[in-house]
Amino acid sequence: MRATKLIILPLLAVLIIASIAAIVPVRATPPPPEDHYVDGFTAAYTDWTAVGTSPYLNAPDDGSYVEGTTDAAMMGWFTFADIDPSYFTLYAIEAVWLEGYTNGPLNTGLDYDVYNGAGAWLGSLYGNGGPQWLQMRWIAPGDPTSNTDASLLTEGGFNAFRCALYFYDPGNAGGPGNIVDSLRLHVTFMYKPMPPYPFMIVDPAENIVAVGTTFTVNIEIPPAPYTPVYDLYGFEFKLRFNPMVIQGVGTIVNGGFFPWNAMEWANEINNVEGFAWYSLTMPFGAPKGLNGYGVLATITFTMVYEDPVISSLTLDDTLMGNRYATPIFHGV
C-alpha cells in the first residue's frame, strides 16, 4: 500500500501539465451523408420559394419565368441550409455535390449553368428523363463537379455558399415545364486526422433528460479513430457540472477498463461545488499498465431543474501516467 502511494504521488505532482483543453464530441462513426436544400432565393421572380417543410421549391410554371436574353438568362441567387458547426470538432467535409431535381430532357445545348458567388462556373445540369436528382456536370459527360469550389470543404465556406442559376438556350428552343424544381448540396463527412496521443472523453457528448430522470455518463479512452493508450498505470480526473441543474447519485464506479481490484485514491461526488473526483491505479504489485481503450469510470446523475437549461460536463485536472509515474500526454 505504501509503495504504491509513492508511485502515485509524483504522478499527481507532474501530470497536470499533460492535458490539453479541447472538448471533443464522440460518435462511433462519421455522420451519414446530408442533403442541404435551398433555404433562400434572391431575384425579382417571386414564385420560386420554399413551401412549408418541403425540400422542394414551388415552381409550378418552370420554364416560363426566366427573364433576360434567351442565351443565358439569370434566374437568381440561391443559398442553402447550414451544417451543424459541432461536426467540425471531430469531422471534416469529405465531398460536396451540387445537385438539381429535374424532369429534363436537358442536354449540352439546353441546360442550366451554375456559378458560385465568385463567378466561377460549377457546371451544368442536364440529363434525359426524369424526374430525378442530377449532379452538376461539366460538358464532358460523366465528369461530376465534386469539390470544384474549395470553400465548400470548410464550415465557414459551406455555410456562406451561394450560387447563381442560368438557363442556357442558345437555339431558342425553350424548355419544357417543370425543368428544375429544387437545388441541394449533397455532403459526405470523414474523420479529421487525429493527433498521435490518446484522449480522455465524456460519453455521450449530449443528453436530453427530464426532471427526476437519472442518467449515466462514461469517462473513457475512446477507440479508433483516436490513438490508443499504452502502459496506463493510473489516472485521475474531475468532472465539473452545474449542481443547480444536475446532481450526482451514489459513488463513481470503476468502468471496467481497469481490473476490479484496482486501487482507488479518490472517489467523491460534490453536489455543492459541482464536481466528481476520481483517481485509480493498477492493483498493488501490477508489473505494467494497460494498453488500448475502454471505459475508465461511470457516473450517475439525476436531473433536478429544467426550463430548459444546460449543464456542461467538463473534464478538468485530468492525469494519466505509466508504470514509472511518467506523464502520458493526452487530450480531453
Task: Classify domain 7-24+199-331 at the CATH class level.
Answer: mainly beta
Q: What is the structure's pLDDT at 73?
A: 64
**What's the predicted TM-score (pTM) here?**
0.52
Q: What is the pLDDT of residues 291-322, one digit of tens each?
A: 999 999 999 999 988 766 677 899 999 999 99
Radius of gyration, alpha carbons of the chain = 28
Q: What is the pLDDT of residues 212-238, one digit of tens each?
A: 899 999 999 998 778 899 999 999 999
Residues 101/127, Cβ–Cβ less than 8 Å: no
Q: Which residue has the cell 413551401?
A: 51
Which distant-in-sequence residues (6+ apart) come within 8 Å of 127 by Cβ?
A: 102, 104, 105, 106, 134
Per-residue pLDDT, averaged over 163-183, amounts to 64
Query: How many alpha carbons lie under 13 Å from residue 311 in its C-beta half-sphere?
Result: 24
Start-to-end CA span in the chain (Å): 30
What is the rounded CA–CA span in Å between residue 72 and residue 12? 70
Residues 238/16, Cβ–Cβ less than 8 Å: no
Q: What is the structure's pLDDT at 256?
A: 96
Q: What is the structure's pLDDT at 62?
A: 39
Largest interatomic CA distance in the chain: 92
Residues 238/244, Cβ–Cβ less than 8 Å: no
Q: Is the peptide bond before 33 cis (omega within 30 degrees of 0)?
A: no
What is the rounded CA–CA span in Å between residue 275 and residue 269? 6
212 burial type by CB count under 10 A (0-12 exposed, 13-18 middle, 19+ buried): exposed
**What residue segments make up the domains of the chain, in order of their start?**
7-24+199-331, 34-191
Q: What is the structure's pLDDT at 238?
A: 97
Q: What is the pLDDT of residues 101-124, one digit of tens each?
A: 665 556 666 677 788 887 877 777
Asked if residue 36 has pLDDT above 70, the reply is: yes
Q: What is the CATH number of domain 34-191?
A: 2.60.120
**pLDDT range class, residue 128, cuts 50, 70, 90:** low
CA quadruple 243, 249, 255, 258: dihedral sign: positive
Question: Left, alpha or beta for 294 (phi > 0: left; psi -120 to 50: alpha)?
Answer: left
